[in-house]
Every structure is written in structure tokens, then in C-alpha cells.
A and B are shown apart, each in its own frame.
Chain A
Amino acid sequence: MRNREYIFGNIDWLTVTLYLLLVLMGWLSIFTASAGEDIAGIFDFSERYGKQFIWIILAIILAIMILIVEAKFFSAFSFWIYGFLIVILIGVLFFGSMVAGSKSWFKIANFAIQPAEFAKFATALALARYLSTLNIDISQLKTKLYTLGILFFPAALILLQNDTGSALVYFAFALVLFREGFSGMIIVIGIVMGVLFVLTLLLGEYWVIAGLSAIGLLTFLLKKKWRKQFKLLLGIVIMASTFVFSVHYSFENVLEPHQKKRINVLLGIEQDLQGAGYNVNQSKIAIGSGGLTGKGFRNGMLTRNHFVPEQSTDFIFCTVGEEWGFFGTSVVVLTFLALLIRLVHMAERQRSRFSRIYGYGVASVLFFHIAINIGMTIGLAPVVGIPLPFFSYGGSSLWAFTILLFIFIKQDANRLNVL
């Protein structure tokens, strides 16, 4: 119980530094994206950069509070926090306000809060708590069902709010499960399904099935091991073909028109510079026009003149691309990468399973957000409305990511006290 009296002892200062660096870069980007010609000062709270400044100050206070709280608090109250967030998510379905087609905000006076952002850390806590129960056997069906249930509840409620992007984030927890010993096949099957989905949309189902059959046949002829498993091989090919046939059906009937359009635009099947393709194309022009060194701080004409929609929230990365060029984008990407690798490193040094699982949860959620958000601005991922962690404008998202991260920093700081 050393350093008990000194709350900042044992804190991983590298992570904290990376966090502060990202928040600062984010604020600078919001500043250029939202500031007009005349700047009244950074405390102009009618502008987004002024508001974000307050959110940042409050986020740092929140972080310090988390560091003061006893580390055990979070593991002990995991399920309570999770349950509370579930109730809030249900509440928002009934009492929430509509913003841009999603019913996912609570409005109190001038202040709006998005519970879906906070549900992520609560889910990570609950998952960590459940999987660190003594004598748990993950090979049991019951355990698997409970685990999926913990993830499914918040995701389904968020989907009901019509916030598809935030619901998709829960797929990120597959990485945590993978690390904890769940079969790696889930991820492999997921990737294979994704590849088949894209190929089917691009080439048509008959070519894909022909390809699948050819691969099956070649495997059968060339690999002796598989020849004995003929039925299994045939089963896999048939299952995959069935999936391929269902692609168009689910594409046409399950997805909303705007979602179809976004996927088609990404795959280059459809070009629509007025609708779905508009954001991405403007975003690519903004980033591409930055060149090697960028146009300089507050010189990005595209971003400053609002030619990229949603540029202080979901498309904030464009501002970096246009004003700081390839140097700037590389710094951001590498900073995020460093943070992710550092988090995995920290997770692996935990003595308690709770802390480790939670650490992986943090890394996975951040990874998913970064991959999708930056991916969409440069045309590598479909347009999914989720924020770039620590960067995007918005109090809910900044606070939620701060809480997510600092709970883990606190657990890590306390790791030596765990017996």
C-alpha cells in the first residue's frame, strides 16, 4: 500500500502525455474549423472552439477525479454502472431528442448528452468483471451466451436509437474475447464474410461462387489432410455460397438506402458527388490538397470555408490533412498507433484479469473508432458517423473517452497493489 497518499504515483505518464497531445491537436483542428476571420479569444463560448475548451478543462478535472477514486471501486461497481447505463439507454428511447435522424440525445436546457458514448466504458467494465469471475469456464455455452448478452444489450438499444455507427463499435470487443481465449475462428469467419460481401457486390454472386468452388476443389485435390474431411469441406463451400446468395437480399432489404449508397460509393460501384460521395470527395480533396507540409495553421481554405460537411466532428481529420499535410497526418496516425500499442503493453503487465480485460476493451474500442473514422475520411471505409477519439468536437464523446482511458490508467497505477 505504498504511495497511497500520493495519488499520481505509478501513473503511466507516457499514456497521459499521448492523451494530452491528442486532445491538444484536436482542439487546434476544431479551432481552425470553426473560427471565423475575427477571433474574440479562445473563451468565446458561442463558438465551437470555445465550448470545446470548456469540455477539455472539465475532462481533465474528470480524469483527476477518477485517479483519486479507489481503484477497486470500478471493479466492485461494474455491474451497477452497466445496469445504470442500460436504464439510461432505455430512457433515451422514450425521452430523448432527435438529432440528425437519431434519437440518442438527452437535452437538459442548452446542454445535450449522448448516453451511447458512455455505454462503451460501462460495457467494457461489465465484460471485464464477468470474464474475471473465479472459476469461469469460457468453453461452456452458458459463459459464451452471457458474454454475448453483455455486449448485445447496449448495442441493440443503441441500434433502436437509430445510431448504427455507435452500435457497430461493439464488434470491437471481438478482439478482447480473442485475447481471452475465445476461438480465433470468430475473427477469421468475420473477415472472410466481409471479404465475400465486398467481392459479391463487386463481381456478382456467380463469379464468387465459381471462385469458392474452385478453391474447394483445389484444396480437395492438393491437400491430403482435407481429402478425408470431404464432408466438412463441402459443408464450408455450401455455407459460404449460401451466404453469398444472401448478400444481395440483405443488402437490398436490411440496409437503409443511405447506407447502401455509402457502401456503393466506397466500392466505386456508384458515383454520387451530390449525396453520399460528397463528403468523402470533399474530404479527400481537403486532405490531398495539403501535400507534404500542408498549407499552415489557419490557412486551410477548404476546411475554413466549410466545404467539408461535419468537419469539426466526424471529418475533423481533414483539417489536419489540409493544414499540416502528410507530416501532420503521420504524426496523428503514429500518435494513435503508439497509444494503442502502449495500451496493449500495459494490459499485458496487469496482475488482475479484470484490469487486463478492461485494458484490452479500451484498446479495442479506440482501435475501432480510429480505423473507421480516419478510414472514411481517406476513402478506405464506408461513411459511419462515429467520432475520432479525443479529437472530434463534442463533450459527450470527449468525456466518455477520457473516462474509458483513465479508469484503465488508474487500474494500471494500482497494479502493484493487487495481490
Chain B
Amino acid sequence: MYLKDYSGRKYVIIGMFILMGILFLLRLFYLQIIDNSYKLSADNIVLRNIREYPPRGCVYDRSNNLLIYNEAAYDIMVIPRQVKKLDTLAFCRLLGIDTSVFIAQLKKAKRYSYYKPSVFLKQVSKQDMGKIEEKLFMYDGFYSQTRTLRHYTHPIAGHLFGNIGEVGQSDMEHDPFYKAGDYIGKSGIERYYEKFLRGKSGLTVVEVDVHNRVKGSYMEGKFDTLAVPGKDLVLTIDLNLQEYGEQLMQNKKGSVVAIDPKTGEILALISSPAYDPNLLVGRERTKNYNLLLNDSILPLMNRATMGTYPPGSTFKMVNALVALQENAITQNTYFSCQGKRTSPIKCTHDHVSPLKLDMAIQQSCNSYFWNTFNAILNNHKFRDVHKGYESWYRDVVSFGFGHGFKTDIPYEVGGNIPSKDYYDKAYNGRWNAMTVRSLSIGQGEILVTPIQLANLGVIIANKGSFYPPHFLKKLEGSDSLMTVFNKLYRTSVASLHFDIVQESMLEVFDGDHGTARYYRLDSIRQCGKTGTVQNPHGDDHSLFIAFAPMENPQIALAVVVENAGYGSTWAAPIASLMIEKFLKGGTKRLELEKKIMEVNLLDPNRSEKRKAQ
């Protein structure tokens, strides 16, 4: 039995009960009798939350030309509980929809909630809204809400701008900022800078009567917040150069990337085939998106950042620089070349033999670079081919190959520089320079993206250093990003070795035997290197990297034209025209320009025709 009697504690418990009762009665007295704010005069006034959607930040090019802006659009909202019997046919005619859409949308809204508003019809244009607004009040339970839609001043750069769409379930779970029906950057710049561009939505609480007429602000706007517009973004893109590049690349597959070597700012990023970003806006978005998605030439793929290609002869300069740095060769090292009879790699170019490094770059001599590569791997410094290979690998990676730049470049892939482990696995540890000889001329397992190739142009122009390529020019509050983008990287090759490479690249344009001699310009000293990349799936890819002017480089670029044959035929003239456009504002070589713009390299009969010739 209990030793003590605790029955006195019942008073504590009863005390708690009474305390609760008193608290409740006081609170109810306050809510129901004293506080007037809840005592609404008309007994049928209810509240409605109106979200004020902020205008998304505008986007400008490097010279403050407007690229992306907003235009008003309207969502028709519905509160199912308030919908009264209506003339469905007339209502559908007013909105320009099918009765089946009407039934489906109303059902969807009812499933979500009877008393909370849902979107009934999305993104009605300003023009259509004009006539709808006049009659909308006749339909109980329906009202309109202002939204904004993206518009693009020029039909360019769809890949890098990306697009916006409605938030998905996972976006909302991930970030409570988003509510159903909000827009979010789905890809490209819109996605990367979402937090800056989106702004903050505001909320106005209004009282409405049963006919859904707004009676005024609730509690003098105590709960209202203002919308904060998104921040404006200035990109490094040059509108004119971007547009010109897209014109040059029309009816071709491939990409052009141009970078300012002094800052790493991307001047133009063209992926072809391109699409008009205005297609992915508004109610037609889903339809157009699916059309683009299912197109066999993959217009949605950003070839500049996601396309990977063997670099071919453009990579010979990297091997030359690494060899000079590792003392595997000197500027005066001669190797001989027996043309097509050379082993293990034949040389298809016609030139003197033996030859030095400068001539080897100009003439793109395969034999010379096989010997160079062999010298790097069998460097007596290491006494071991595998050690030599690891050293080569480190040097090559320092050029930005084999990994992404991790800046604001959308969907970039890293490409591939095969590691020693990869070959150990593939060949059970038994391999040597002969086994991996294709790497000497930029073929084999090695894969790079056009943006990495353009960055190679930057590195040579800067004699060994580069800022990571990026799109951000000016954006309020982005200081920490700017610090990351403005970090200078150095390759492991000393700058003195770059002079000979630069001079040889100048000879590619200016020398009597240079592979790009037809695109020489008297007013600009252009440096370049062609590449013709063997492609097991079809015709060779035409590559070119360049920078100009040599004495004070202001633009470096890479051009890739898929299945177009020799680097000198298509990629080189495109690069030269881009350089001229950027430095001089235009070209006098109108015939060349016209020929390039008009050629259709997508024509499936073309390669057949060429073979037949």
C-alpha cells in the first residue's frame, strides 16, 4: 500500500483544468468581443491571397544590349467552390479552349482543393486577356492573376540562355521558397543564376465577397509584403559576334567558342543547329520542347560544352609544349619523315625532311609528333615509360583538359585524358609508347570539348596562363562567384616555350605553305592551327583553333564543324571571319562570307556527292 496519501494533489490537477478554462474564456472573450479586426461587417467576406510575382531579372550582353526581358501574361485562376452554373460553351469560346479542357481543368482544380485557388488556364497573352477581362467577372469563381513571360530580343543563344518552366515537386521539397505554379530556371544561365534572377514574390491579402469582388486590403495590409524584382545580369557575350557566328554556322553541325584571353570572358558560344529561345516560352513550350527533343540532329544538345571530339592535329601543339618543358626535345631537334611510308604513323602532308619543330607545326607532320611523344614517354629523366606517361598526363591536365571548368558554363562535360590506370587495366600493365601512339596526334581515347579547345587558344595566346571561361560580367551580389572566376591558372609549361608555337601558328596563316594561307589578312596578324579529325562514324570533323592579333591577343577561339572534312576547308575560314568581325566589325571578304553562310553541310547527299566526284 501507499505509505503516503497524495489525495491533496487533486487540487493541483483541478487547478490546472480551471486555469485552462480561464485561459480559453479570456482568449475567446478577446477574439470574439474585444478585437474588432475579426468582426467583419458583412458576414460573407472572405480572404484571398494574391501573390505578386516579381519580374525576373533582365539579361544584357557585354555592351549592355538587352538580350532577355519580361512581358506581362495572365493566368486565369479558379476557386471551385465558388463556381456557379455557367454557360460552359460561351465561357470556352471566350477563353478559346475546348470543353474537354474546361472539364479536365476544373476536375484537376477540384482534386487539389475546393476552397483554394488553382490555375485554370496558364499564360494568356496580353492581347487575348483584353477581351477576356471584360467578361470574366460574369463567371463566379474565376479571376485573373498577372504573371510574366520571358522574351528574347534576338533568336540566338538558346543553348546558353536555357529556359524557365514551372517548378516540379522535387524543386518545392528542396527549397521551400517555391510554391506550386512558380517558375524556375530549368537550364543554362537561367538555371545557374536562378537565385539572383528570380527575385522574391510578394503577397497581398484582400477581402473578397462571395461574388469574388475585391473589397479591399485586409487589416490595413498588415500581412502584405512587396515583391522584390530579380537582379539584372550582364553577360560577357558579344551580341553581334554571337549572332554572326550563328549565321556562319547555320546548316552545319558543330560549334564555335570565342573567349577573351585577357579575362576568360566568353564572347560567343555557338552550338549548331541552334533554335530560337522564344520557342520555349509560354503555352507552346511543352509542344516545341518535345519537337526539339525528338529531332534527329539533336538541336537541344549544347555541342560547345557537351560535344566531345578527339582534338586531332590541334593537340600537336600541346605535345610540343610538354616536350619542350620536359626537355624531351629542343626547338632545334630534327626528326625525319618518309611521308606515307613512315611508321608507325604515316604522314599525309607533303614537306621537307628532316624538319624542325616550327616547320612540323606549320605542316602538321605526324611523324615529327610521334617522335616527340615517344621522346616524352621514354624520357631518361624517368627511366620508365609509365612514369613518363604520368608526367605527360599531369602536364596535359594543367591545360584544362580532362575536367570541367566548374564555372557558370551550363552542362559542361570534362572530356577524357586517359590515365595510366586506364591503360594498366586495358593492357594488363603491359603497354608502352607504341601502344598509345595515337595520343601523339590527338587521336585515340583522348576527347575534348570545343570550349576546352578555345581555352587552348587562350593559353597559347597568354603564353601559359588562363582564367576559367565564364559568362558572368556584372551581377549585383555575385562577388564570391567573381572571385572564383577571376582566379588565374598556370599550366606547367614555362612561358618561354610558347614563342615558337605562336610563331609557327602565325605561319599557318602567313607562311607560303601554311594550311590556312588562303584566309590571310593584311590588317590582322592571325595565329591558328587546323585539325582534321578522323571520325569512325562518318566524314572527318573539321577543326580550327586560333587567336588574334598576335602582338596583343583579344580573341581566342575554336571552331568545330562535324563531318565537314579538312580543317582548312570550313573551320579555318569561319574562325578567320569571326576574328575579323570582332576586331574590325565586319569583313570585306563578302564572297567567302556568302559561301560559308549558304553552304548546307547537313544535306545527307553531300558526302555521297563528294565521294562520287
Residues in chain A within 8 A of chain B (CB atoms) = 135, 175, 178-181, 184, 257, 271, 273-274, 281-282, 284-285, 287-292, 295, 299, 301-302, 305-307, 309, 321, 325-326, 329-330, 333-334, 336-337, 340-341, 344, 347-348, 360, 363, 367, 370-371, 374-375, 378-380
A179-B10, A334-B21, A348-B10 known; A329 and B32 CB under 8 Å? yes
Q: How far is the CA of A341 from the CA of B223 in the complex (A)?
A: 41
Chain B 139-162 per-residue mask, 1 if CB under 8 angstroms from chain A, else 0: 000000000000000000000000
Chain A residues within 8 Å of B23, by CB: 380
Known: A288-B37, A341-B14. A330 touches B9 (CB 8 A): no
Contact present for A289 and B38 (CB under 8 Å)? yes
A179→B9 contact, CB < 8 A = yes
Chain B 151-210 residues near chain A, CB threshold 8 A:
176, 179, 203, 205, 210
Rounded to whole Å, the gap between the CB of A98 and the closest CB of chain B is: 17
Taken together as a complex, chains A and B put the C-alpha atoms of A289 and B210 apart, in Å, by: 16
| Known A-B contacts A179-B6, A289-B39, A367-B17; A301 and B24 likewise in contact (beta carbons under 8 Å) | no
Quick check: A287 and B18 within 8 Å, CB to CB?
no
The CA-CA distance from A335 to B1 in the complex, in Å, is 35
Whole-angstrom distance from the CB of B169 to the nearest CB of chain A? 14
Which residues of the partner chain A approach B205 to less than 8 Å between Cβ atoms?
273
Choose, from B40-48, B344-352, B540-548, B586-594, the stretch at the interface.
B40-48
Contacts of B37 in A (CB 8 A): 288
Q: Which residues of the other chain, A, contact B99 by a CB distance below 8 angstroms?
A: none
**Are A274 and B203 in touch, CB under 8 angstroms?**
yes
A175-B13, A301-B43, A348-B10 given; A288·B25 CB < 8 A: no
A136 to chain B minimum Cβ distance, whole angstroms, is: 9
A290: which B residues are within 8 A, CB to CB? 32
Counting chain B CB atoms within 10 Å of each CB, the highest count among A289, A326, A370, A375 belongs to A289
- Give complex CA distance A282, B312 in Å: 69
Interface residues on B, range: 35 or more
Min CB–CB distance B114 → chain A (angstroms): 6
Residue B291 interfacial (CB < 8 Å):
no
Tell me whether B29 is interfacial, beta carbon within 8 Å: yes
Contact of A333 with B28 at beta-carbon distance under 8 Å, contacts A301-B43, A348-B7 already known: yes
CB distance from A38 to the nearest CB of B (A): 14
Query: How close is A328's CB to chain B, nearest CB, in angstroms?
Result: 10
Contact of A326 (CB < 8 Å), options: B16, B33, B40, B47? B33
Q: Determine whether B85 belongs to the interface, using a CB cutoff of 8 Å to chain A.
A: no
Assess whether B430 is interfacial by the CB under 8 Å rule. no
Instruction: Give the nearest-CB partner of A139 in chain B.
Output: B3
B31 pairs with A288, CB closer than 8 A: yes
Q: Does B115 contact A (CB under 8 A)?
A: yes
Counting CB contacts under 8 A, is B612 at the interface? Answer: no
Q: Contact at A306–B115, with CB atoms within 8 Å?
A: yes
Expressed in whole angstroms, the Cα–Cα distance for A274 and B205 within the complex equals: 10
Chain A residues near B33 (CB, 8 Å)?
291-292, 326
Question: Which one of B31, B39, B81, B176 contacts A378 once the chains associate, using CB atoms below 8 Å?
Answer: B31
Do B223 and A271 have beta carbons less than 8 Å apart?
yes
Output the nearest chain B residue to A178 by Cβ-Cβ distance. Answer: B9
Interface residues of B (CB under 8 A from A): 1-2, 4, 6-7, 9-10, 12-14, 16-18, 20-21, 23-25, 27-29, 31-33, 35, 37-40, 43-44, 46-47, 49, 81, 114-115, 176, 179, 203, 205, 210, 223
Least distance between A387 CB and chain B CB atoms (Å): 17
B399 to chain A: closest CB distance in Å? 45
Across the interface, B31 reaches (CB within 8 A) one of A178, A287, A302, A347, namely A287
Question: Which of these, A175, A257, A273, A330, contacts B49 with CB under 8 Å?
Answer: A273
A309 adjacent to B28 (CB under 8 Å)? no
Query: Are A326 and B9 in touch, CB under 8 angstroms?
Result: no
Residues of A contacting B203 in the complex (Cβ-Cβ under 8 angstroms): 273-274
Known: A178-B12, A329-B32. A295 touches B43 (CB 8 A): yes
**Contact call A326/B49, Cβ cutoff below 8 A:** no
In contact, A285 and B32 (Cβ under 8 angstroms): no
The answer to whether B32 touches A291, judged by C-beta atoms less than 8 angstroms apart, is yes
B49 touches A274 (CB 8 A): yes
Nearest-CB distance from A190 to chain B (Å)?
12
Bound CA–CA A370/B203 (angstroms) = 34
B115 to A, closest residue via Cβ: A306
Task: Given A179-B6, A181-B4, verify A284-B21 contact (CB < 8 Å).
Answer: no
**What are 28 sample pairs from A and B whose C-beta atoms fall under 8 A apart?**
A175-B16, A181-B6, A257-B176, A271-B223, A285-B47, A287-B28, A287-B32, A287-B38, A288-B32, A288-B35, A291-B32, A301-B44, A305-B44, A305-B46, A305-B115, A305-B210, A321-B32, A329-B32, A330-B28, A333-B21, A333-B24, A333-B28, A337-B17, A337-B18, A348-B10, A360-B13, A363-B13, A367-B20
| Interfacial chain A residues near B1, Cβ < 8 Å | 135
Q: Which residues in A have their C-beta under 8 angstroms from that of B18?
A: 337, 341
**Which residues of B are found within 8 Å of A333, using beta-carbon distances?**
21, 24-25, 28
Q: Which of A287, A309, A348, A379 interacts with B115 by CB under 8 Å?
A: A309
Chain A residues with CB under 8 Å of B40's CB are: 285, 289
Cβ-closest chain A residue relative to B42: A301
Residue of A nearest to B35 (CB): A288
Chain B residues with CB under 8 A of A284: 31, 38
Q: Given contacts A301-B44, A325-B32, A341-B14, is CB(A291)–CB(B39) below 8 Å?
A: yes
What is the CB-to-nearest-CB distance from A310 to chain B, in angstroms, rounded to a whole number? 11
Asked whether, in the complex, the Cβ of A299 is within 8 Å of the Cβ of B32, the reply is no
A379–B37 CA distance with the chains assembled, in angstroms: 15
> Complex Cα distance A367/B17, Å?
7
- Residues of A contacting B47 in the complex (Cβ-Cβ under 8 angstroms): 273, 281-282, 285, 307
B27–A299 CB distance below 8 A: no
Whole-angstrom distance between the Cβ of B23 and the nearest chain A Cβ: 7
Which residues on the A side are within 8 Å of B38 (C-beta)? 284-285, 287-289
Bound form: Cα–Cα A285–B43 in Å: 11
Shortest beta-carbon distance from A221 to chain B in Å: 31
Distance between B559 CB and nearest chain A CB, rounded to angstroms: 50
Q: Which residues of A have CB within 8 Å of B29?
A: 326
Give the distance in Å from the alpha carbon of A321 to the alpha carbon of B223 in the complex: 24
Distance (Å) between the CB of B33 and the closest chain A CB?
Answer: 6
Q: Which residues of B contact A379 (CB under 8 A)?
A: 27
Given A179-B6, A348-B10, are A306 and B114 also a contact pair (CB < 8 Å)? Answer: yes
Q: What chain B residues lie within 8 Å of A273 (beta carbons)?
A: 47, 49, 203, 205, 223
Residues of chain A within 8 A of B179, CB atoms compared: 274
Bound together, the chains give a CA A179 to CA B17 distance in angstroms of: 14
A340 to B24, CA, bound (A): 15
Question: For A325, what are the chain B residues with a Cβ–Cβ distance below 8 Å?
Answer: 32
Contacts of B9 in A (CB 8 A): 178-179, 184
With A288-B37, A306-B115 given, name 8 new contacts (CB 8 A): A257-B176, A271-B223, A282-B47, A284-B31, A284-B38, A288-B35, A333-B21, A380-B24
Residue of A nearest to B223 (CB): A273
Assess the B20–A371 pair: CB atoms within 8 A. Answer: yes
Q: Closest A residue to B224 by CB, please name it.
A: A273
Contacting pair A302 B46 (CB below 8 A): yes
Contact of B2 among A181, A285, A380 (CB under 8 A): A181
Cα A367 to Cα B15 with chains together (Å): 12
Chain B residues with Cβ under 8 A from A371's Cβ?
20
Please report the C-alpha to C-alpha distance between residue A287 and residue B13 in the assembled complex, in whole angstroms.
29
B4 neighbours in A (Cβ, 8 Å):
181
Contact check: which of B21, B32, B44, B115 meets A337 at CB < 8 Å? B21
Residues of B with C-beta under 8 A to A181: 2, 4, 6
For the complex, give the distance between the alpha carbons of A133 and B24 in Å: 38
- In the complex, the answer to whether A378 meets B223 with C-beta atoms within 8 Å is no
Residues on B with beta carbons closer than 8 Å to the beta carbon of A321: 28, 31-32
Task: Give, as a whole number of angstroms, the nearest-CB distance from B452 to chain A.
Answer: 42
Residues of B within 8 A of A289 (CB): 38-40, 43
- Which residues does chain A contribute within 8 Å of B28, judged by CB atoms? 287, 321, 326, 329-330, 333, 378
